[in-house]
Amino acid sequence: MSLLIVSLDTTALNVALPDIRADLGASVSGLQWVIDAYTLVLAALLMLSGSTADRLGRRRVFRWGLALFVAGSLLCSLAPGLGWLVAARALQAVGGSMLNPVAMSIITNTFTEPRERARAIGVWGGVVGISMAAGPILGGLLVEVSGWRAIFWVNVPVGLAALVLTTLFVPESRAPRARRTDPVGQLLMIVLLGALTWGIIESPHRGFASPLVLGCLTVALVSVVGFLVYESRRAEPLIDPRFFRSVPFAGATATAVCAFAALGGFLFVTSLYLQEVRGMSALRAGLCMLPMALMTLVCAPLSGRLVGSRGPRLPLLAAGAGMTAAGALLALTASADLSLGVLFCGYVLFGVGFGLVNAPITNTAVSGMPRAQAGVAAAVASTSRQVGSSLGVAVIGAVMAAGGLGAGGVVGLHDPAGFQDAERTAWWIVSGCGLAVLALGALTTGRWARATARRAAHLLDEGDGTTRQQAQQATERTNSGAAG
């Protein structure tokens, strides 16, 4: 249910972007911030939330997250202007950071057998498909009937029901040895993500050589260098560098960035194209996006079963091929009056690719890692997803703003030819992200990669002063006591 409201909020909101622009007088960069204010805060806080849940209790933190997400949704529905909406989206993200990684940690500590865990993750990830299938249509219907504010109302009853059910049925669990907080590393990550995204979003309007953009990129560079130097010297860093000695884990992290950059860019450009260029209503645009969403719904649980039976290699290769083909097809055929049949094929290919990619990312990120750090490991994967989504919206939104959106940032019809060129570039970026997923799937799933995962897990166990078996026994004792 937590994944449902978070994913539904994202897919439904993309359909409502043109309505928000018209109602609040937002530019394209303002629309980018409506999306990225959420994903940036989420990415910055996921690691902190994962380690906090391991320390204070996963159910407790999960319930806090649900309460904050519901409160943020209410404030979004009441926002009188763009600035208020962006701020309320940031509050939503604070709550959202306590949901998905903590839920994944709960699942990891409940399903301890690898095959069962892979299937459970597949079912859990299948909710993304449900939300993607329902999101565009529900969002379009709500916009048609009640306006964009109704999109945030949906989160309230679902969030409150999840809060009640969590209280009744989810057992409390904690890591046997929780990690310490890392405020300096947390601050450096916030500065890095904020400065990088701000620079990318503002570059089309101010120019890449402007002092603001160059200053943002400089701050981002200094932050990443400082983060690497500082974290390498800490006994318990925010992101343990030893995790990335596992090639599958590092590959899953990079794959998540690429796949979700493609998704974020896909949803952003598709919504603007269908409604602003082709003049469709929000509901009709949602219906046009339905083939992509349905294929994600079908392929997500299938991917979980494939990972459980044959490993992550096959679904990753198929996912990369699907997204690459979709981006290339839409780039080669981009036009203002493109046949709906071609759009259908492109959207189906992308839905197949994205539906297959989620389960192997999640399973690879948590498999082989000590369950004592399940919250942190899952949070790294979730952080990578949100970073990718933020960068996808920022980069492709910047391309669209520079190409065909007019001096005032109003979409489309000021320069149709420029919009078409920008759209073509955006689709090539999506195709490149898919190609990166394909290459990473081939490089990070072989014997050598699996051997590095075993060595990294052994190193983590030794560094924490416990064996894998001891960590498992301690976790099981914690879960048994909480359940009792």
What's the pLDDT score for residue 330?
A: 93
In angstroms, what CA-CA distances link 240 with 151, 246, 382?
Answer: 38, 12, 15
Going through 103-181 in order, the beta strands assigned E by DSSP cover none
Q: What is the pLDDT of residue 407?
A: 40
Q: Distances from the Cα of 344 to the Cαs of 267, 289, 341, in angstroms? A: 15, 8, 5
User: How far is the C-alpha of 308 from the C-alpha of 447, rounded, in Å?
Assistant: 17
CB-CB contact of 269 with 400 (8 Å): yes
Contacts with 127 (C-beta within 8 Å, 6 or more apart), sequence order = 3, 4, 7
Residues near 276 by beta carbon (within 8 Å), at least 6 away in sequence: 18, 411, 412, 413
Q: Residue 469 has what pLDDT?
A: 45
**178 Rama class: left (phi>0) / alpha (psi -120 to 50) / beta:** beta
pTM of the predicted model as reported, rounded to 2 decimal places: 0.79
Tokens of 379: 């949070």
Tell me, what's the pLDDT at 437?
Answer: 93
- pLDDT at res. 472: 44
**Segments in the chain below pLDDT 70:** 125-126, 128-129, 132, 176-179, 366-379, 403-418, 453, 457, 460-484
Comparing CA positions, the residue from 262, 269, 206 lying closest to residue 399 is: 269
- Residue 420 CA to chain centroid, in angstroms? 27
The radius of gyration computed from the CA coordinates of the chain, to the nearest angstrom, equals: 21
Sequence-distant (≥ 6) Cβ neighbours of residue 332 within 8 angstroms: none
417-440: pLDDT as tens digits:
667 788 889 999 999 999 999 999
pLDDT at 470: 40
Are 155 and 457 in contact by the 8 Å Cβ rule? The answer is: no
| Burial class for 480, CB neighbours closer than 10 Å (0-12, 13-18, 19+) | exposed
